[in-house]
Amino acid sequence: MTRKFFGTDGIRGLTNQMPMTAAMAQKVGQAAGAHFLRGQHRHRVVVGKDTRLSGYMMESALISGFTSVGMDVVMVGPMPTPAVALLARSMRADLGVMISASHNPYQDNGIKLFGPDGYKLTDADELAIEALLEAEPKLAPASEIGRARKIEDARGRYIHAAKLTFPEHLRLDGVKVVVDCANGAAYQVAPAALWELGADVVAIGVSPNGLNINDGCGSTDTALLQRKVVETGADVGIALDGDADRLIVVDETGRVVDGDQLMALIATGWKRHGLLHGGGIVATVMSNLGLERYLQSQDLTLERTKVGDRYVLETMRAKGFNVGGEQSGHIILSDYATTGDGLVAALQVLAELVVTGRAASELLHLFDPLPQLLKNVRFQGGAPLDTQPVQAAIADAEARLSGSGRLVIRKSGTEPLIRVMAEGEDEGLVAQVVDQICEAVKAAA
């Protein structure tokens, strides 16, 4: 059965347009609350958010929905997505909610839901909640309406948990780190955790105003971080996105290091220390073929999934892997977290820097990626990928890349975009086939 509102990462859209309206958020609160009202205990939901202006409106609407069906609400304020997942589990909540559109601009917002185990909801749970969205809510009697309260130690709890993932015998003394928090959810916790571990911290993207989240900063726009690392003579730069579940790194020369290189580094380091499970890692079809070849050279495997961190995690749990993620920097280390955690992943990278004593430029570039090109084509409606001209263009591209490259074409799960990616030995051919398919999609869209 197809989900109507949930995409690959919760419900997301332009604020004050369906489905990102206050009225819809209230319904989501009622539906999700009703779905998780199980047993006779007093039910609780942990609600966090990033720093975008619409977070206040969405938070109030969700609280109204949850309390109206009898669920108590614990508000933690601006916090990373992985922190909400962690707190939902550690506080024995029935549900965790993160209000965020991740790396999107401030105009967008989203609702991410976590179960009592701290994991994102299954497809079955999301379908059940969608069914309840269409039904009349069963409101609690006046005496059983939920209560809402804020907790003041949420940041401290998460900082402590993140620091525990850093090897106990190591310190970051003498390591100069520039951290770009994207004016987002980690603007307080990430610099604090790094400083407490001994690092010399230069923090940027830590002045949120509700409108500047992910704006010219963070993991999707690293130019500012690259300049700052070089200007300050830092050893390394760390870029998070708006809800801090992604990590991109910049070495001391200003060169960007993506999620594929970071997963390779963590996997080989953990293998060396006897910590890696599953004999390899899990990544999506978007990860570079160079990563796969490098892992093979290290006697490690790469298990590929469709795009979406939830599918990476499902495979990790099913097959016993403890490292997985996406090229975009969404890295899941299941020994420590139930979802991607940019700060925790960064601490593993920093640990390798300290242990090896090598410069970031030497340590972080483990393989040469094959030429890879990704382009997005926006469409207004319909199903352009099902049209004959687009299918013909795809078939021709696959034939031309046969034996020397890969082609991945998919509809975005969070935006009205068709994503066209190709990679191969011949950079010119890769560009040609991507442009060919994009033109066909534009004509059909």
Point out the residues that are catalytic.
Answer: 102
Contact 186, 159 (CB under 8 A): no
Burial call 193-203: b when 16+ CB within 10 Å, e when fewer:
bbbebebbbbb
- Kindly provide the b/e burial profile for residues 281-303, where b requires at least 16 CB atoms within 10 angstroms of the residue's own CB: bbbbebbbbbbbebbeeeebebb
| DSSP tag of 7 | B
What the block records as the tokens of 372 is 């890879």
What span, in angstroms and rounded, lies between the C-alpha atoms of 291 and 350?
20
Structure tokens at 17: 């347009």
Q: Helix, strand or coil for residue 209? A: coil
CA–CA gap between residue 269 and residue 59 (Å, rounded): 40
Separation between Cα atoms, residue 219 and residue 256, nearest integer Å: 10
Helix (H, G, I), strand (E, B) or coil at 343: helix
Q: Is residue 424 within a helix (H) or strand (E), and if so which, with residue range?
A: strand 417-424
Tokens at residue 293, please?
């070849």
CA distances from 436 to 317, 387, 410, 412 (A): 38, 15, 15, 19
The number of beta carbons lying within 10 Å of the beta carbon of residue 99 is: 28
CA angle 51, 54, 57 (to 5 degrees): 115
- Residue 232, burial from CB neighbour count under 10 angstroms (0-12, 13-18, 19+): middle
Cα gap 146→134, rounded to integer Å = 22
| Amino acid in position 315 | T
Distance CA 262, CA 248 (A): 8
Q: Say whether the peptide bond before residue 141 is cis (omega within 30 degrees of 0).
A: no
- The edge-to-edge listing of strands for the beta sheet with 236-240 is 200-204, 176-180, 236-240, 247-251, 256-257
- Residue written as tokens 């571990």? 197
